[in-house]
Structure 1
Amino acid sequence: MNKEKRYEIFRRLREDNPHPTTELNFSSPFELLVAVTLSAQATDVGVNKATDKLFPVANTPEAIYALGVDGLSEYIKTIGLFNSKARNVIAACKILIEQHNSQVPDNREALEALPGVGRKTANVVLNTAFGQPTMAVDTHIFRVSNRTGIAPGKNVLEVEKKLLKHVPKEFLVDAHHWLILHGRYVCKARSPQCGSCRIEDLCDYKHKTSD
């Protein structure tokens, strides 16, 4: 795919949604960190149902740490893998309190040192909380990048690097939100809605549907 096509793809996505953001509910970098940690192998809707009850009660490292693993588990038990996630969040809160003055760090190395925080989670926090041009490649972005030809790759890191290289700079900060939303609602895994897709004419997918 050439750079002119890529530019037009992101121009149209921006035109349709000028200010994209995550569908996770949050009001601070710490709330976002917790929500993204909980979202692994879970839906944003499911995470929001849990955090909508949790955050009014505890939304700082100290407050959540005070709940303990058992107390936190009660709020998040509807989410998959809630026991291990509760342990990770409590352990991360301890580190934030002791090493970061209870603030979420804005650099990758410090974020990835937190329990339960991998590269993808760090990328979401760096991008959505701190406005850094990172690419949090999830299953949706991986699929859309390969299917459309925007940034084909064999694994998520390869796709991430290609996106950072090929997405025009003016779109970089918002690009991962556009791609996630496009994959979630239009370029779906089993039934891509090519017929109503805004970028169908620019896409390299060979098996387009009429939906």
Structure 2
Amino acid sequence: FVYFRSECACRAMSMSAGSMHRTGSGSRMSVRVSMQRSARLHQGTGQLIEQTTAPPIWPVVLLSGLHYSSMAMAMMIWINVCRMANPVAFVPSEDGEIRVDSETQTLYSRLLVMNAVCEFMTSQLVGGLSDQYGRKLLAISAQLGQVVDYFTAGLALAPIWFEYVQTPTFLVTPSLFFCRGLAGLLGNVRIAMGAYIADISTPAECSARLAFSGAAMTIG
């Protein structure tokens, strides 16, 4: 935007200078005023370019680490949620426990596949959407999808503070697939973060900053 304004100012100055030779003395004053305004605009944009600094990178690194650390901490919660989806989850027989473990693993694997497929479906659109609507909007939408995902999973567990706030047993499995799919559709936070880092970094700094973001994801 700053470059566009500077370019327009330069063009206005050249057009005003050319029109000075073609017009009479009556229009020289307006041409001179136009040239002065263009010069001030060009000088102002030049000062804006000199004073503008890139935003810091630490919020991106912190967001990446927190996003993936929450995913790691929620893994065991999801195992318990998948157990709640099974109607014989608390049968004390040994055969029942083996069958519950098998069905729990199967359901958890299907939920992971659901999340991955939905994330793959939107991976080709996130780049264009972030260019059109901004990087922050895509990053915030990923966090909102994660909040809905974890909140829906929490409703499937036995209530601790609120006795009557719990998902019915027959709706647990459909709600889990829905929230996992929604989190996958909105969860391409890595693409938005990478594009944001590329925007605020020079070519020499970009690779190192992307490595910092990847390290934060791994540590998280």
Q: What range describes the TM-score normalised by the shorter chain of this pair? A: under 0.3
**What's the TM-score, normalizing by structure 1?**
0.22
**What's the TM-score, normalizing by structure 2?**
0.21
- Greater RCO, 1 or 2 (C-alpha within 8 Å, sep 6+): 2
Structure showing the higher helix proportion among its residues: 2
Which of these two proteins has the greater Rg computed from alpha carbons? 2
